[in-house]
């Protein structure tokens, strides 16, 4: 095992799969999954479960898909119960401005005395425009929609007149995150563009490019949009010409083969925006991939490379704040600052004319390892403090590891295993007690073996429907919510992070160089642990058993926790800290198992997460912003910012609450746990102290459960001495410890930051 963390030079972090082998046989196989793969013809491959377009293959299939800045949805041509009219068939689209948002009430339990609003959300299903075709008439009972090319940042939505009779007659609408145009490629169909907002005016705009037809439309809400048509030069056809049928419908002159693109100008005429659109129309984003390089230190560059179909100029894409705050100079130069549209829940987006973006992260946590890192002089523990810590550690290591780990829910089981792993680290790195460490390690290995030998209660199985690891609780109970929905791919990065980190700890101690083992544990269990990593963070499409990056979204900069559940507001995440915990666990597993690419990707994910979390989920005080976000109160509505955290961050709304409780201890606390060496990297002292002052200072007396310990662990980030005093007090109650928290680790953590 190498002596230092990080430090390798890599020219490509994503070219090599972790493995292409079948998951170990200890994971029983299931050929079925309760969720059908609707409208997906390509079933013999790993399929994405947690990406932005899931609503198009789940349940009703007509919930919005949030491409940012737009939302689009599958308009199925059904009769609408609200007004008994028939909706069009095709792809509908909307863009919501800030003044259209619904702001929640103030005075919620979770917002306390801050005066903040509880939530904000964007209205859905405002059909500004719909891309369709005459041939998709309601009398056509053979029209269908199919999804192909299901990637981590893109998908193709295909609309057929009658695929059985003629698969060539279709409308293909590629969707990419951040796409500047909503595009449709028509093959021999007659375009029909409709609006439920209604057309106020439709104008044909003279174009200097004879191959491009441009229309500008004003809707009755006062918004301006443009429509471009690019005819296929290889097809003999009538010129593209739109006729106004009525104030809700435009129809082309005849069958058309080529590309139609739509974009919103804004709430007013803007010649500068139109100039950007005129210069970039024609290119269609059909895919995106991430690449990254490390320099051997704390700096990494990563790119989002888009696949451009057609067009001669660069693609027009929209960037979020965490993107453009980390752009390299060359990508900054491609920004079109005159063209900005508000996003749904992440601030203002800026258009970029480029086929790819390059971003830099210069603070990778390569120096952070098993223990928290204190700035300045090394921490010194007083003799009495060490004596007390040793007594607490011995008492906790004497607990029954097996009983606490073998629980019904894999999430709580993992938290218990993770707690014991930190006990072993405490006994070794702080107490320097080899005997106690050996005892702890032996018990941890035994408890961990419950899972690697499938002797725990709810076992992990590999299913061939979507292709991934799920808990068998969903098969035994038939309950989609079993184990927090893990059987439907909810929260895998949360759940597996605890097991991966604990495995890293065992592998570290079992290495021959540490003197506790011979390395046999790693040899026997490496594939089992790697399978958990592959399920969540497979880097390569060459792995035939798992989709690429199931949970972490390299475009949004963080993971999405929601799996195969239909949702009006899209994907969501309620725990930024457990998101970071997975990346940290992956980093440490890569280090302990001698997989430097895994470690390097963990470091990169952490750096991106640090920036994204401190931009969208943790709201720093405006007077002392986190260096990753120069405008912390410029993302969410001003009235929401006093909440200090997002609560649940959805694609379409932000709700200061949780799925399990509405009190501040729940909402703020779920963004704190678990306390780990990476916590100070993610949560700045200024932020943590400001949050404490707003919600908890002088208000913790009535908290008597495990959340009390979570809150005081967090105090160590800015006042480690106060945190130490809380956990060292003579009247300390074990009721104040969360099921995944160790009192000894809390003391060790505070001490390592100078509190002992």
User: CATH code at 228?
Assistant: 2.70.98.30
Phi–psi pair at 616, nearest 5 degrees: -115, -25
Q: Per-residue pLDDT for 454 more than 60?
A: yes
Name the residue range of residue 329's domain: 287-361
Q: Which two tokens stand for residue 250?
A: 């435009």
Residue 132 has pLDDT above 80, yes or no: yes
* 271: pLDDT strictly greater than 90: yes
Q: How confident is the model at residue 209 (pLDDT cuts 50, 70, 90)?
A: confident
Residue 17 is assigned to a structural domain of this protein: no
The token pair that represents 611 in the structure block: 């920036």
* Nearest to 500, CA basis, from 573, 390, 575, 595: 595
pLDDT grade for 2, boundaries at 50, 70 and 90: low
Contact between residue 554 and residue 152 where contact means Cβ atoms under 8 Å apart: yes
Distance, CA of 610 to CA of 445 (rounded, Å): 32
Catalytic residue of the set 274, 569, 578, 651: 578
Q: Say how far residue 614 (Cα) sits from the centre of its chain.
A: 14
- Active-site residue (options: 574, 651, 690, 738): 574
Together in a domain, 227 and 324: no
Position 3 scores a pLDDT of: 58
- pLDDT, average across residues 257-277: 98
Stated as kind and residue range, the H or E segment containing 474 is helix 473-477
What are the tokens at 746?
């809390």
Phi, psi of 250 (to 5 degrees): -120, 140
| Number of domain units in the chain | 2
| Two tokens, residue 439 | 């005892």
264 located within any domain? yes
Edge-to-edge, what's the strand order for the sheet holding 28-30? 28-30, 460-463, 468-471
State mean pLDDT over 139-149.
96
Q: Are 161 and 130 contained in the same domain?
A: yes
Q: Looking at the predicted structure, is the pLDDT value of residue 256 above 70?
A: yes
**Per-residue pLDDT reduced to its tens digit, 396-453:** 999 999 999 999 999 999 999 999 999 999 999 999 999 999 999 999 999 999 999 9
Q: Could you say which of 281, 307, 324 is where a domain stops? A: 281
Closest CA to 717 of 683, 670, 673, 756: 683
CA 326 to each of CA 69, 144, 179: distance values in angstroms, whole numbers, following the listed order = 19, 42, 19
Catalytic residue status for 408: no
Q: Indicate whether 120 pLDDT > 70.
A: yes
Residues 147 and 223 reside in one and the same domain: yes
The more confidently predicted of residues 292 and 295 is 292
Are 172 and 93 part of one and the same domain? yes
Q: Quote the pLDDT of residue 603.
A: 98
Does the residue 408 lie in any domain?
A: no
Nearest to 550 by CA among 612, 607, 493: 493
141 with 76, same domain?
A: yes
* Band of residue 208 on the pLDDT scale cut at 50, 70, 90: confident
Please give the share of the chain, as a percent, with pLDDT higher than 70: 99
Task: Considering only the C-alpha atoms of the chain, give the largest distance between any 2 of them, rounded to a whole number of Å.
Answer: 89
Q: In this structure, is residue 210 part of a structural domain?
A: yes
Contact residues for 141 (Cβ-Cβ < 8 A; gap 6+): none
Provide Rg for the chain, Cα atoms.
27
E-assigned strand segments in 444-502: 460-463, 468-471
459's tokens? 């076992």
Q: Do 293 and 258 share a structural domain?
A: no
Q: Write the burial class of residue 540 (CB in 10 Å: 0-12 exposed, 13-18 middle, 19+ buried).
A: middle
Q: What is the pLDDT of residue 538?
A: 99
| pLDDT (tens digit per residue) in 509-532 | 999 999 999 999 999 999 999 999
Residue 24 belongs to a domain: no
Residues 6 or more apart whose Cβ sits within 8 Å of residue 307: 154, 285, 286, 287, 288, 289
Return the closest-CA partner of residue 696 out of 672, 725, 721.
672
Q: Which entry of 491, 510, 599, 651 is annotated as an active-site residue?
A: 491
Average pLDDT value over all residues in the chain: 97
Q: Are residues 77 and 218 in the same domain?
A: yes
Count the helix, strand and coil residues of the chain and give each as a percent rounded to the nearest 5. Answer: 30, 25, 45
Strand order in the sheet with 242-246: 65-66, 71-76, 89-94, 129-133, 191-194, 249-252, 242-246
Residues 242 and 315 in one domain: no
Q: What is the pLDDT of residues 545-560, one digit of tens each?
A: 999 999 999 999 999 9
Which residues is 462 bridged to in the sheet? 29, 469
Q: What is the DSSP letter of 559?
A: E
Q: Is 220 a catalytic residue?
A: no
- Per-residue H/E/C for 588-625: HHHHHCCCHHHHHHHHHHHHHHHHHHHHHCECCCCCCC
Identify whether 339 is part of a domain. yes
Q: What is the DSSP string of 283-345?
A: -EEEEEEEEEEEESSS-EEEEEEEEEES-SS--EEEE-HHHHTSB-HHHHTTEEEEEEEE-SS
Task: For residues 196 and 231, state if they share a domain.
Answer: yes
Cβ atoms of 653 and 66 within 8 Å: the answer is no
What are the two backbone dihedrals, phi and then psi, of residue 48, each rounded to the nearest 5 degrees?
-70, 140
Q: Tokens standing for 612? A: 């994204």
pLDDT by residue (tens digit) across 56-72? 999 999 999 999 999 99
Q: Which residues have a Cβ under 8 Å from the Cβ of 174 and sit 6 or more positions away?
A: 149, 154, 155, 156, 157, 183, 185, 284, 285, 286, 287, 309
Separation of alpha carbons 519 and 512, rounded Å: 6
Six-digit token string for 110: 């979770």
Same-domain status, 134 and 252: yes
pLDDT at position 83 is: 73
pLDDT at position 87:
94
Backbone angles phi, psi at 339, to 5 degrees: -110, 105
Residue finishing a domain among 361, 392, 409: 361
pLDDT at 207: 82
What residues does 154 pair with on adjacent strands? Answer: 176
Percent of the chain with pLDDT over 90: 94
Average pLDDT over residues 580-606: 98
Give the pLDDT of residue 80: 77
For residue 739, is it within any domain?
no
**Would residue 730 count as lying in a domain?**
no
Residue 1 has pLDDT above 60, yes or no: no
**Dist. CA 529–CA 506, nearest whole Å:** 12
Going by the DSSP 8-state scheme, the letter that residue 30 receives in this structure is: E
pLDDT of residue 712: 99
Of 361, 382, 408, which one is at a domain's C-terminal end?
Answer: 361
Helix (H, G, I), strand (E, B) or coil at 216: strand
Q: Return d(Cα 485, Cα 563) in angstroms, integer.
A: 8
Among 180, 199, 232, 532, residue whose Cα is nearest residue 357 = 180
DSSP-derived letter for residue 236 is -
Give phi and psi for 391, each to the nearest 5. Answer: -65, -40
Asked if residues 48 and 147 have their Cβ atoms less than 8 Å apart, the reply is: no
CB within 8 Å of 340: residues ≥ 6 apart: 348, 349, 350, 351
pLDDT for residue 43: 87
Contact 261, 278 (CB under 8 A): no
* Residue 540, phi then psi, degrees to nearest 5: -140, 140
For residues 199 and 313, state if they share a domain. Answer: no
Q: Is the same domain home to 208 and 316?
A: no
What pLDDT shows up at residue 5? 75
129: three-class secondary structure by DSSP: strand
The band of 156, judged by pLDDT with boundaries at 50, 70 and 90, is very high
């Amino acid at each position: 095992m190498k002596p230092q963390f990080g430090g390798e030079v890599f020219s490509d972090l994503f070219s090599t799969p972790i493995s292409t082998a079948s998951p170990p046989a200890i994971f029983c196989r299931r050929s079925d999954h309760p969720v059908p793969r609707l409208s997906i013809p390509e079933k013999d491959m790993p399929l994405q479960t947690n990406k932005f377009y899931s609503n198009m293959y789940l349940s009703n299939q007509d919930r919005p898909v949030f491409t940012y800045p737009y939302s689009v949805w599958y308009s199925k041509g059904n009769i609408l119960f609200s007004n008994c009219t028939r909706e069009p068939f095709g792809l509908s689209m909307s863009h919501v401005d800030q003044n259209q948002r619904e702001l929640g009430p103030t005075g919620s339990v979770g917002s306390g005395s801050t005066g903040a609003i509880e939530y904000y959300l964007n209205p859905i299903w405002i059909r500004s425009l719909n891309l369709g075709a005459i041939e998709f008439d309601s009398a056509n009972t053979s029209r269908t929609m199919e999804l192909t090319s299901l990637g981590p940042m893109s998908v193709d939505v295909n609309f057929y007149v009658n695929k059985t009779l003629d698969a060539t007659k279709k409308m293909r609408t590629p969707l990419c995150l951040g796409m500047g145009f909503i595009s449709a490629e028509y093959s021999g169909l007659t375009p029909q563009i409709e609006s439920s907002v209604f057309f106020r005016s439709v104008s044909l705009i003279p174009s200097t490019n004879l191959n491009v037809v441009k229309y500008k439309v004003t809707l009755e809400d006062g918004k301006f949009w443009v429509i471009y048509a690019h005819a296929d030069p290889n097809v003999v056809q009538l010129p593209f010409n739109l006729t106004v049928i009525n104030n809700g419908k435009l129809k082309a002159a005849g069958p058309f083969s080529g590309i139609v693109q739509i974009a919103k100008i804004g709430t007013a005429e803007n010649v500068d925006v139109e100039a950007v659109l005129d210069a970039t129309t024609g290119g269609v984003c059909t895919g995106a991939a991430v690449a990254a390089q490390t320099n051997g230190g704390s700096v990494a560059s990563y790119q989002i490379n888009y696949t451009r179909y057609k067009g001669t100029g660069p693609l027009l894409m929209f960037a979020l704040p965490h993107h453009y705050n980390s752009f390299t100079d060359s990508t900054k130069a491609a920004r079109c600052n005159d063209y900005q549209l508000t996003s749904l829940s992440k601030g203002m987006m800026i258009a970029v004319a480029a086929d790819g973006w390059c971003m830099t992260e210069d603070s990778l946590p390569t120096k952070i390892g098993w223990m928290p890192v204190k700035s300045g002089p090394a921490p010194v523990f007083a003799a009495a403090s060490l004596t007390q810590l040793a007594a607490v550690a011995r008492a906790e290591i004497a607990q029954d590891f097996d009983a606490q780990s073998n629980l019904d829910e894999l999430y709580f089981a993992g938290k218990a295993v993770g707690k014991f792993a930190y006990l072993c680290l405490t006994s070794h790195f702080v107490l320097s007690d080899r005997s106690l460490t050996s005892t702890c390690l032996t018990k941890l290995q035994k408890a961990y073996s419950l899972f690697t030998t499938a002797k725990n209660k709810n076992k992990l199985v590999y299913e061939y429907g979507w292709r991934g690891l799920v808990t068998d609780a969903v098969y035994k109970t038939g309950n989609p919510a079993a184990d927090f929905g893990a059987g439907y791919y909810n929260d895998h990065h949360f759940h597996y992070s605890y097991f991966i980190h604990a495995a890293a700890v065992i592998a570290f101690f079992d290495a021959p160089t540490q003197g506790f083992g011979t390395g046999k544990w790693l040899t026997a269990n490496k594939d089992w642990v790697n399978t958990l990593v592959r399920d969540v963070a497979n880097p390569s499409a060459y792995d035939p058993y798992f989709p690429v990056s199931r949970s972490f979204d390299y475009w949004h900069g963080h993971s999405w926790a929601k799996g195969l559940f239909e949702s009006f507001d899209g994907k969501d995440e309620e725990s930024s800290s457990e998101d970071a915990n997975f990346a940290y666990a992956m980093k440490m597993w890569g280090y302990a198992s001698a997989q430097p690419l895994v470690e390097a990707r963990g470091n990169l994910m952490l750096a991106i997460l640090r920036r994204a979390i401190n931009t969208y989920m943790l709201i720093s005080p405006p007077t002392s912003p986190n260096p990753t976000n120069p405008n912390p109160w410029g993302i969410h509505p001003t009235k929401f910012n006093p909440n200090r955290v997002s609560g649940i961050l959805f694609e379409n709304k932000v709700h200061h609450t949780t799925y399990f409780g509405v009190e501040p201890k729940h909402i703020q606390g779920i963004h704190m746990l678990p306390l780990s060496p990476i916590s100070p990297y993610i949560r700045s002292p200024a932020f943590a102290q400001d949050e404490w002052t707003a919600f908890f200072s002088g208000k913790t007396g009535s908290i008597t459960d495990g959340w009390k310990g979570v809150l005081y662990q967090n105090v160590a980030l800015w006042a480690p001495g106060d945190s130490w005093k809380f956990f060292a007090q003579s009247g300390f109650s074990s009721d104040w410890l969360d099921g995944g928290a160790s009192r000894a680790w809390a003391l060790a953590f505070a001490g390592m930051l100078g509190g002992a």
